[in-house]
Amino acid sequence: MPLFRGAKRWMILVTGLLFASILLAACGEGSPSILNPAGPVARDESGVFYIILIIATIVFVGVEGMLIYSVIRYRERPGSPNPRQIHGNTTIEIIWTVVPAVILFVVLIFTIQGLFSVAAQPAGKTVEVEAVGHQWWWEFYYPEYKITTADTLHVPVNTVVHVTLYSNNVIHSFWVPELTGKTDVIPGHNNDKWFKADKTGTFLGICAEYCGTQHANMKFDVAVDNNDSFQTWVSAQQQVATQPTSGSLAQQGQKIFQEQCQSCHGIVGVDMKSYQDPKVSCDSPTAACLVGPNLTHFGSRGFIAGGVLTNNANQCQPGPDIVQRCNLAKWLNDPQGIKPGNDMAIGQLTTDQINQLVAYLEGLK
């Protein structure tokens, strides 16, 4: 029947596309995977995944195998009698209740073991971080070093990082697939977690709880440094912002910053005396809580505005076409077009002003 054959062809096509989309979904460029763990917490978590996958595969193959075998072996043939009815067979009912219960109990044991091993923070040297979820970017404060940064979380390799998660707005979720699983960031309830990276490199972090229109643009980088470069980074971050040379483009940019930006952004040495703990300042009725990221060392960060753009400082030489080349210039030219709904309330800047602001901000290493 041609109609039936047409329907069959469509079904094959749709099934094929479905499987292809599932397979290709894993191919997003630079997308981090929990199956690529780079630390003990992520390794424990992916271990639980593999155990469940193996058990589920055995159950699937067993059940489907028996089903297909029975469909073929016991299919209806002309003149075959009615099969024996087993409804109400106590032995069979007990077997198919107990076997799945035992299987689920085995899964439960591995899951609980994983939960305990992920919760047990090893003793030894620890770096403390407060991760603050904003709409829509991440702020990181290091209480021990008294530094604040945004979008890029620097940590030393092979060192326990203890993170306290704080929000004063909506629920976010802190997730670095290759280093640690998701933990909710809940207003009024400070969760905490730890993780450790056993190799240097950059790992993508994501907000994993829908938190408003720009939820997808709430990314951050975890930069895992060796111990020496981490200490160098800390010392550099503890310095006040670089003061631009007199008469330079950057100095004109600093003036624009003071006129247009400093009511929301902080730069230590310009509009702030020292770094402030966002967890404290945002909940204190007296201390000023910054609306936007602290920009003291903006030029050293990998992302702009929660990862909506990368900070491609090497493309940011001044010129009339700066908005075409340089992501910071693009951002300053049209922040609401690039990330609608964000808090940037900057007036329209001329190309000259953008050149000046970019020269200033990218110079803040």
What backbone phi and psi angles, to 5 degrees, belong to 295?
A: -105, 15
Residue from 209, 221, 225, 277 touching ligand CUA (CB under 6 A): that is 209
Shortest gap between Cβ of 165 and ligand CUA (angstroms)?
A: 11
Give the separation between CA 329 and CA 316, rounded to whole angstroms.
8
- Of 31 and 263, CB closest to ligand CUA: 31
Residue from 32, 131, 172, 233 touching ligand CUA (CB under 6 A): that is 172
- Of 172 and 193, CB closest to ligand CUA: 172
- Of 207 and 268, CB closest to ligand CUA: 207
- Could you tell me if 248 and 254 are in contact, meaning their C-beta atoms sit under 8 angstroms apart? no
Shortest gap between Cβ of 204 and ligand CUA (angstroms)?
A: 14
- Of 215 and 330, CB closest to ligand CUA: 215
Near ligand CUA in 81-140, by CB under 6 A: 133, 136
- Of 133 and 253, CB closest to ligand CUA: 133
Given the DSSP bridges, would you call strands 160-167 and 126-134 parallel, antiparallel or unpaired? parallel
- State whether residue 213 is helix, strand or coil: coil
Is 207 one of the binding residues for ligand CUA (CB under 6 A)?
yes
CA-based torsion, 184, 277, 283, 218: positive or negative? negative
**DSSP code string of 161-211:** EEEEEEESSS-EEEEETTTEEEEEEBTTB--EEEE--SS-EEEEEEE-S--
97, amino acid identity: T
Residue from 127, 131, 161, 218 touching ligand CUA (CB under 6 A): that is 218
List Cα–Cα distances, 309 to 108, 172, 303, 361, in angstroms. 42, 20, 6, 15
Options 6-14, 46-54, 193-201, 203-211: segment touching ligand CUA (CB under 6 A)? 203-211
- Of 204 and 207, CB closest to ligand CUA: 207
Is 210 one of the binding residues for ligand CUA (CB under 6 A)?
yes
Residues contacting ligand CUA: total by CB under 6 A: 9
Give the separation between CA 101 and CA 175, rounded to whole angstroms.
32
Residue from 48, 118, 153, 211 touching ligand CUA (CB under 6 A): that is 211
- Could you tell me if 313 and 299 are in contact, meaning their C-beta atoms sit under 8 angstroms apart? yes
Shortest gap between Cβ of 38 and ligand CUA (angstroms)?
A: 23
Is 219 one of the binding residues for ligand CUA (CB under 6 A)?
no
Query: Closest by alpha carbon to 200, among 222, 227, 224, 177?
Result: 224
Is 354 one of the binding residues for ligand CUA (CB under 6 A)?
no
Asked whether the bond before 331 is cis by omega within 30 degrees of 0, the reply is: no
- Of 39 and 133, CB closest to ligand CUA: 133
Query: Closest by alpha carbon to 205, among 69, 213, 259, 197?
Result: 197
Shortest gap between Cβ of 49 and ligand CUA (angstroms)?
A: 23
- Of 133 and 299, CB closest to ligand CUA: 133
74, amino acid identity: Y
Burial class (CB in 10 A: 0-12, 13-18, 19+), 281: middle
Burial class (CB in 10 A: 0-12, 13-18, 19+), 21: exposed
- Of 253 and 292, CB closest to ligand CUA: 292
Shortest gap between Cβ of 276 and ligand CUA (angstroms)?
A: 22
Is 215 one of the binding residues for ligand CUA (CB under 6 A)?
yes
Give the separation between CA 203 and CA 224, rounded to whole angstroms.
8
Options 19-27, 29-37, 109-117, 210-218: segment touching ligand CUA (CB under 6 A)? 210-218
Options 191-199, 204-212, 246-254, 279-287: segment touching ligand CUA (CB under 6 A)? 204-212
Residues forming the site for ligand CUA (CB under 6 A):
133, 136, 172, 207, 209-211, 215, 218
